Each structure stands twice: as structure tokens, then as C-alpha cells.
Amino acid sequence: MACYIGIDVGTSGTKALVMSPVGKVLSTATSEHTVSTPRPGWSQQDPEQWWTATVKSVRKALQEAKTDANQVDGIGLSGQMHGLVLTNAAGKVLTPAIIWNDQRTSEQADEIERAVGGKRKLIRLVGNPAMTSYTLTKLLWVRRHLPRVYDKARHILLPKDYVRLRLTGEYFGDVSDMSGTLMLDQRKRKWSRKMLDLFEIDTDLLPPVVESHEVTGVLTKAAAARLGLNEGVKVVAGGGDQPVGAIGNGVVTDGMTSATMGTSGVVLTHSRTYKTDPEGRINTYCASVAGEYCMFGCVLSAGGSLQWFKNNLCGEEVSAAERERVDTYKLLDAQAAAEPPGCEGLFWLPYLTGERTPHADPLARACWIGIDARTTKARLLRSVMEGATFAMKDVVTLLADRGVKVRQIRLSGGGARSALWRQMQAEIYGTTCVMINTDEGPAYGAALLAATGAGRYETVRQACEAAIKVTKTIKPSGKAKRLYRRHYDLYRDLYPAVKGQFEGISELVG
């Protein structure tokens, strides 16, 4: 029986997943790596840690799946987007990788928009505005501040593509991941000649780009020995964690939408056609389905808001959960469920780490608005869950403004494990939500891409239709839906009302 491996190079760890030919998850394993912050706002990693974690995770997953090396027929890749890896001609890493959440490049982001002629023109060229997360800002920073490193560089790679190099010895990228570099012409699915010429980027530094299901090489003898696999196993292109996570959720047809409520929250929709937001509030990337696209927005502290509440205000509940040997979040769910929807006008703005969509405001602060003498800790708790969901609703609303017809939303992440939060999401989004038979995200999507590239399925869409099934449907209550609609209308007015104070707070702290 053939099987397939999906590898997801995340920020905090690398996950390996072994999948059967019919899409059943046989095992998963994750190995951690660390983030270095040598200066305030800096965030970087040693790519060697990604490779070491890949080896550990694949070996452990194979052992737990009781899979023979002869059965593995393909490997797919996914990974954190935007990170900059520079190597010399021999593939040696020249400097720590500057990863997606690094904030040192604000000057370069401004420089890019000025040079192009403004945000709207940049979006017309590459689909997205300049932000510190994107790869081109990091490349320009290295050229300015580390010129000797830049002069030695012969290859520019993204995180998962460095792992591919270690697996196959080949330099490749894919259109979905490269959509987050500010250097790809997404309409043509090729490097943007205009951007490369404008910023004097040598084309030879950039890898060839292909579609996510295409085979980009095979395991070398050395890599196979490290992983406990056979030489010659096909390695497909894979993609960025968001587009490949969409594959893992089966979001592969026009208008199909997912809402992933993790530490951060992502609402993503699939589109057969290329659409952008002229204001840059939501992102457009090439999808991991050949020739198609995805649009999404990110809430920085969605499930992270609830985690913050638990860690800082729920010592009693944590202790009780330890005594009763239950999950703390189960106890918190019960408390929140006893409170009324809307919390009698209590609102939580979930900007613990600033906000990305729709406000793009790094200075934004979290706050409660509407506390009165009747407010209890349980009501604060429920308001946190509602506020995070209202923030996700902001993204749903933006997608609708761009012409997306959201008829059903697939839920995943920690927020989908709570029956209360699932129902709350359906009522705040105002649409039917569903659960599916897997919650493995990008690693599962990477395995499906591997199966497609290896020939098990003819297309990525066929792979998803065969492997992914709806297991639960959550319909919104009409009464709660109407109540939350009124609350959401007020919620949308709160950020503009307090926005001007966030800059003052920042100056006070500074």
C-alpha cells in the first residue's frame, strides 16, 4: 500500500504527517525549533533547525505509522511564508533566515511603495501592498545593512524550499509561496520583470517557480539515509502554509471559504479568477490549485485572546482542571455558555499584538468597552470569544465586499473544537458552518499534493473530493443571528472611535 508524507515547516516546529492512499491520516509527529530575537522587533531562525526537525519528525511519524520505507511514494511540502533564506552557490546558508514576523524592515516597505508609485500601483503589479512581513523588504534590508552577505548570495529561497534543497539538491519555488514575496506577477504566475528591474534584483538569484502539485526532484541518497526512506522518492513543489492549509481543508472550488481559529485567525476563500483589494486590506495569492487563486485576511489574536485570558485571569480554573483532570478550556466553555449572547453590550477588541486585517495597525491595543456593575469574569470571558469572532467577521465582510458569495464556511483550529464557539461563529458570520473529517491543515494539504504529484490523483481538486468529507453542519439560530448583526454593527464603529488614542499610548510607553 502506497503512502504519502506531508511536511509543514512552521514557526515553532516542523510537522510530518503520513497519509494512506485514501486520505486517512496514519500518524503525525512534530519537532520544535526556536526563534531568535537578537534585537527588539527582530525575528530570525537557523535553517539548519528546520532540516533537523524535518528528519526527527519524519522518522517518528514513520515509526508510529508502522510504515515500510518501500511504501512511501511521494513527499509534499508546506511552510511559513515570506521568510528570506540566502545561500551561496554551494547551498550554504549565509546568514540567519529573517522570518515572516520580523519588523525591522518598515523603511524598506515604505521605499518599495514610493518607488513603485504608491500602494494601489503595487497591488496592481503583485497583488498585495508592501508590509514588513514580505520577502522583498527583507532582501532590500540585507542589501543595505549586510552588503557582503548580499554580494555572496547566489540563491534566494523560502523556508520550505530550503528543506526541499536538503531533500533533493534542487532549487525550486512554487507560485503560491512566492506570491508573498512582492516579486511575483500573479496573473502570469511568473516573476515580475517590472519589480525585478525596478529594484535591480538579478533573476539568477531566484528559483524557477512551478505549480504546487508538480514534481521538483527526488530524494537524494544522503537525504534518504537521514530520513529512513528510499532514494528516488518524488518530492512535489508544495506551497505556503495558507494556500496549502486551504487544500487540507478542501477549500478548492470557487467561493468555498474556511475560518481557522488558531492563535491567529485566518478566513480564506478560493477563487477561479484573480481578484485583489485595491486598499490592500486582504491578501491575494496564487492558490495551490493550478491556475487559480485564494484571498484571505488574518486576525492576529483570535484564539490567542482566549489563551491570554486563561493564562492571566483563570488561575482557579486551571487548578480545578488539574484536580479534575479535564481541559481548562472545557471549564471555560461551560462558564461562557451560561452568559447571554452579546454580553449585555460588553465588547472586546482583540488587538493584543496590533492588528493585520482589516486595520493594518501595529499600534492597536486590546480593550474592553462596556463594562458596568453587572460585569462578571464569566461575562468578560464570553465577550473575548465574541470579540475574536467579530474580528474574523471583519474578514468575511471584506470578502463579501469583493464579490465573494460566502454560502458555507469550513471551521478548523482550536476554536472549532468548542461546540459553543462553533455555534457562535455560525451566528456571527451569519451563515451555515461545517466541520470536516480532518483538522491537520497544511501538513495534510501537503500530503494530498504529494499524492497528486505522484499520480494517485489526476488533480488536486479530485484528491480533496476523495479524501475530505463534511462530518457536522452548524446552522445559525435566527434570533441569535439577528442579535449579533446589531452588535457587529456597533463593534465596527469602536475601532475608529479609539484608533487615535493608540498612537498616544505608544508614545507614552516609548
Catalytic positions, written as ranges: 241
Query: b/e for 222-241, b at 16 or more Cβ within 10 A?
Result: ebbebbebbeebbbbbbbbb
CB atoms within 10 A of CB 324: 11
The residue type at 402: R
Q: What are the grid coordinates assigned to 45, written together?
A: 531562525
Alpha carbon distances (Å) from 306 to 383, 396, 450: 10, 21, 35
- Calpha distance 464→447 (Å, rounded): 11
**Dihedral sign (CA 171, 293, 285, 203):** positive
Q: What are the grid coordinates assigned to 80, written together?
A: 511559513
Residue 376: φ, ψ to 5°: -120, 170
SS3 state of residue 334: helix
Beta strands at 257-261 and 184-185: parallel, antiparallel or unpaired: unpaired
CB atoms within 10 A of CB 334: 12
- Calpha distance 441→50 (Å, rounded): 19
Sole residue written with cell 514610493: 114
Q: What are the grid coordinates assigned to 298, written together?
A: 488574518
C-alpha radius of gyration, the chain, whole number: 23
The 3-state secondary structure of 452-499, one letter per residue: HHCCCCCCHHHHHHHHCCEEEEECCCHHHHHHHHHHHHHHHHHHHHHH
H helix or E strand, kind and range, residue 271: strand 265-271
Residue 83: DSSP 8-state: -
- Calpha distance 78→442 (Å, rounded): 6
> Of 293, 297, 291, 301, nearest to 279 (Cα)?
297
